[in-house]
Amino acid sequence: MAAEPRTWISKDFHVHESYSSDAPIATPDKYCRVAERRGIDEVCFTTHLILTGPDVQHGISPEKIPSYLRDIEAAQENTEVTLRAGLEIDWFPEVEREIEEILDEYSLDYALGALHYVRGIDIGSRRRAPAFFLGKELSDALDIYFEEWGKAAESGLFDVLAHPDYFRKYLSLTHEMPVSFQEYGSKVLDTFDILSSHGVGIGVNSSGYRHGIRDLYPIKGFLRAAREAGVETVTVGSDCHTVGDLGRNTLRAAHRLKREGFDYICVFEGRKNRRVGLSEVIG
Ligand SMILES: [Zn+2]
Ligand SMILES: [Zn+2]
């Protein structure tokens, strides 16, 4: 069998396993075997936690978090790959308290916040996303999106926010796609100030290459502007839901970061971040 072309770096900080209902057969053990083969030396699991709305069952139910953590520990026994335990947590204002209690109760390595639902509408669903965008000028829709994103950062709950401009996933159904960061308006700049003052990072995400936008989240220019506004924490993840996608296209994220002025990425252990040089993770 021909070797796969390498599209990954040595760290993947956005990985869904079987406690996320959209990743039913991807177990930590299986991810470890792929990581070993690909030379990926650190994997952070970020199963979905969705505490309200119509998709609660897509995520882990809070009472299963202990067994999720035990599964990761058990997988760690059989691999040299460093495993980290995180959650990708949907931010909704009405469950902030509940999220806080969960984060206090369990010792996680990484709390990744996400905004898949903007004012109750799932912008990651082909069927539902148009309900958010239709009838709105793009600039108005994006102002709302980034305002909500800023509130998620302001909550103080999360280490990093995932896929910054995730609204692009199905935006083409209703609007012409922005081609540059300059089209995002000014609200996003306020959001950078919030990220920076609250010490919240950005999760660069390579799943857009699977989603059909054929780009990273975020768009070109976003990371440079964030950095200039004082955002220092950046992580990289594939957002894989199958083991074959582990690390996929994270190398592109590393190159984008480099072009936009970063020379490191961050990894997390026990909710504390550490920088690793891009030259080290690119290899
Ligand atoms: Zn997500
Ligand atoms: Zn995800």
For residue range 23-80, list pLDDT tens digits in order: 999 999 999 999 999 999 999 999 999 999 999 999 999 999 999 999 999 999 999 9
DSSP structural state of residue 205: E
Q: How far is the CA of 114 from the centre of ligand 1 (A)?
A: 6
CA-atom Rg of the chain in angstroms: 18
Q: List phi, psi (to 5°) of 205.
A: -135, 125
Return d(Cα 126, Cα 51) in angstroms, integer.
22
Nearest ligand to the CA of 167 is 1
Boundaries of every domain in the chain: 11-282
- Residue 212's pLDDT is 86
The predicted-structure confidence for 1-28, as pLDDT tens digits, reads as follows 567 799 999 999 999 999 999 999 999 9
Return d(Cα 130, Cα 118) in angstroms, integer.
12
- Residue 163's pLDDT is 98
Which amino acid is residue 201, in one-letter code?
G
Q: How far is the CA of 163 from the centre of ligand 1 (A)?
A: 7
Around ion ligand 2, which residues have CB less than 5 A away?
Answer: 88, 239
Name the band, by pLDDT with cuts 50, 70 and 90, for residue 272: very high
Nearest ligand to the CA of 14 is 2
| Number of neighbours of residue 3 by Cβ within 10 angstroms | 6
Q: List phi, psi (to 5°) of 150.
A: -60, -35
The predicted-structure confidence for 168-226, as pLDDT tens digits, reads as follows 999 999 999 999 999 999 999 999 999 999 999 999 999 999 988 999 999 999 999 99
Which amino acid is residue 48, in one-letter code?
H
> What's the rounded mean pLDDT across residues 151-179?
97
Q: How far is the CA of 122 from the centre of ligand 2 (A)?
A: 14
Q: How far is the CA of 277 from the centre of ligand 2 (A)?
A: 24
- Residue 80's pLDDT is 98
Greatest C-alpha distance within the chain? 53
Nearest ligand to the CA of 245 is 2
Q: How far is the CA of 161 from the centre of ligand 1 (A)?
A: 9
Q: How far is the CA of 1 from the centre of ligand 1 (A)?
A: 33
- CA distances 187 to 139, 192, 197, Å, are 9, 9, 16
Beta-sheet strands, E only, within the chain: 11-15, 42-49, 82-90, 110-114, 117-118, 121-122, 160-162, 201-205, 234-237, 264-269, 272-277
Q: How far is the CA of 55 from the centre of ligand 2 (A)?
A: 14
Q: How far is the CA of 222 from the centre of ligand 2 (A)?
A: 20
Q: Are strands 201-205 and 11-15 parallel, antiparallel or unpaired?
A: unpaired
Q: How far is the CA of 112 from the centre of ligand 2 (A)?
A: 9
Q: How far is the CA of 58 from the centre of ligand 1 (A)?
A: 12
Q: List phi, psi (to 5°) of 23.
A: -135, 55
Structure token digits, residue 81: 């790959």
Burial 216-253 (b: 16+ CB within 10 A, else e): bbbbebbbbbbbebebbbbbbbbbbbbbebbbbbbbbb
Q: How far is the CA of 139 from the centre of ligand 2 (A)?
A: 26
Q: How far is the CA of 46 from the centre of ligand 2 (A)?
A: 7
Mean pLDDT score across all residues of the chain: 96
- CA distances 99 to 93, 111, 122, 159, Å, are 10, 10, 19, 13
- Residue 2's pLDDT is 64
The percentage of the chain sitting over the pLDDT mark of 90, rounded to a whole number, equals 95
The predicted-structure confidence for 92-114, as pLDDT tens digits, reads as follows 999 999 999 999 999 999 999 99
Chain centroid offset of residue 168 CA: 14
**Domain 11-282 sits in which CATH superfamily?**
Metal-dependent hydrolases (3.20.20.140)
- Residue 111's beta-bridge partner residues? 87
Structure token digits, residue 29: 């053990």
Which amino acid is residue 90, in one-letter code?
D
Q: Are strands 160-162 and 201-205 parallel, antiparallel or unpaired?
A: parallel
Chain centroid offset of residue 192 CA: 17
Q: How far is the CA of 86 from the centre of ligand 1 (A)?
A: 13
Q: How far is the CA of 2 from the centre of ligand 1 (A)?
A: 32
The CA-to-CA distance between both ends of the chain, in Å, stands at 23
Q: How far is the CA of 1 from the centre of ligand 2 (A)?
A: 30
